[in-house]
Structure 1
Amino acid sequence: MKIDKQHLLNYSILIPYLILSIIGLIMIYSTTSALQVQNEGNPFKLLLSQAGYWVISLVAIYIIYRMKLSFLRRTGLISVTLLIDGFLLVISHFFDAVNGAHGWIRLGPGGIIGLQPAEYLKLLIVWYLAHQFAKIQGEIRKYDYQALTKGQWIPNKLNDWRLVSLVFLGLVASLPDLGNAVIVALIIVVMVTASGIGYRWFSTALLGIVSASALLLGTIRVLGVEFVAKIPLFGYIARRFAAYFNPFENATESGWQLTNSYYAMSNGGWFGRGLGNSIEKNGYLVEAHTDFAFSIVIEELGFLGASLILALLFFLILRIIVVGIRAKNPFNAMMALGVAGMLLVQTFVNIGGISGLIPATGVTFPFISQGGNSLLIISIGIAFVLNIDANEKRELIQEEIERTMI
Structure 2
Amino acid sequence: MKIDKRHLLNYSILLPYLILSVIGLIIVYSTTSALQIQKGGNPFSMVISQGLFWILSLVAMFIIYRMKLTVLKKKGLIRFFLLLEVAMLVASRFFDPVNGAHGWIRLGPGGIIGLQPAEYLKLLIVWYLAARFSAMQRDIQVYDYQALIKGSWMPKAFNDWRIVSLFFLGLVASLPDLGNATIVVLIILVMVTVSGVAYRWFSTVLMGLVLGATILLGSIRILGVDLVARIPVFGYIARRFSAYFNPFENATESGLQLTNSYYAMSNGGWLGRGLGNSIEKNGYLPEAHTDFVFSIVIEELGFVGASLILALLFFLILRIIVVGIRARRPFNSMMALGVAGMMLIQTFVNVGGISGLIPATGVTFPFLSQGGNSLLVISIGIAFVLNVDANEKRELWEEEIEQTMAKTES
**Is the TM value for this pair above 0.5?**
yes
- 1:300-337 per-residue CA deviation (whole Å, 9 max, x = no partner) reads 00000000000000000000000000001100000000
1:113-124 aligned at under 5 Å gives the runs 113-124=113-124
Root mean square deviation of aligned Cα: 0.9
Q: For 1:233 and 1:49, how far apart are their aligned partners in 2?
A: 32
- Could you tell me how far 1:227 is from its partner in structure 2? 2.1
Report runs of 4+ in structure 1 exceeding 6 Å deviation. Answer: none
Give 2:353's aligned residue: 353
Q: Provide Cα deviations, 1:166-191, integer angstroms capped at 9, x if missing partner.
A: 00001000000000000000000000
1:89 matched to which residue of 2?
89
Deviations for 1:124-172, whole angstroms, at most 9, x for unmatched residues?
A: 00000000000011111111001111255x6775231011100000100
- Residue in structure 1 matched with residue 180 of structure 2 by the alignment: 180
How do 1:139-154 and structure 2 match up within 5 A?
Answer: 139-151=139-151
Instruction: Note the residue ranges of structure 1 that are not aligned, 5 or more in a row.
Output: none
1:261–1:355 Cα contact (<8 Å) kept? yes
Secondary structure of the residue aligned to 1:59 is helix
The answer to whether the 8 Å contact 1:155/1:162 transfers is no
DSSP-derived class of the 1:94 partner = coil
Q: AA paired with 1:314? A: F
Structure-2-length-normalised TM-score: 0.98
Of residues 142-151 and 116-125 in structure 1, the stretch that sits farther from structure 2 once superposed is 142-151
Q: CA deviation at 1:223?
A: 2.3
Instruction: Identify unmatched segments of 5+ residues in structure 2.
Output: none
Match of 1:168 in 2: 168
Q: Does 1:32 align with 2:32?
A: yes
> 1:16 matched to which residue of 2?
16
Letter of the 2:391 partner, please give it. Answer: N
Measure the CA separation in 1 of the matches of 2:37 and 2:148: 55
CA contact (8 A) 1:140 1:148 kept: yes
Equivalent position amino acid for 1:13 in 2: I
1:66 alignment partner in structure 2 = 66
SS of the equivalent of 2:273 reads: coil
- Taking structure 1 as the reference length, the TM-score comes to 0.99
Classify the secondary structure of the residue corresponding to 2:114: strand
Letter in 1 for 2:380: I
* 1:396 corresponding residue in structure 2: 396
The alpha carbon displacement at 1:229 in A equals 0.9
Tell me the percent identity.
77
Tell me by how many angstroms 1:297 deviates.
0.3
Write out per-residue CA displacement over residues 182-227 of structure 1, whole angstroms, 9 at most, x where no aligned residue: 0000000000000000010110111011011011111211221122
1:271 correspondence with 2:271 = yes
Instruction: State the distance in 2 between where 1:157 and 1:205 align.
Output: 27
Distance 2:367 2:91 in 1: 27
Stretch deviating more after TM superposition (303-312 or 142-151) = 142-151
CA distance in 1, matches of 2:232, 2:78: 34
Q: What is the identity, as a one-letter code, of the residue corresponding to 1:138? A: R
Q: CA deviation at 1:112?
A: 1.0
User: What is the alpha-carbon distance in structure 2 between the residues aligned to residue 83 and residue 189 of structure 1?
Assistant: 23
Tell me which moved more, 225-234 or 310-319.
225-234
Distance 1:202 1:359 in 2: 24
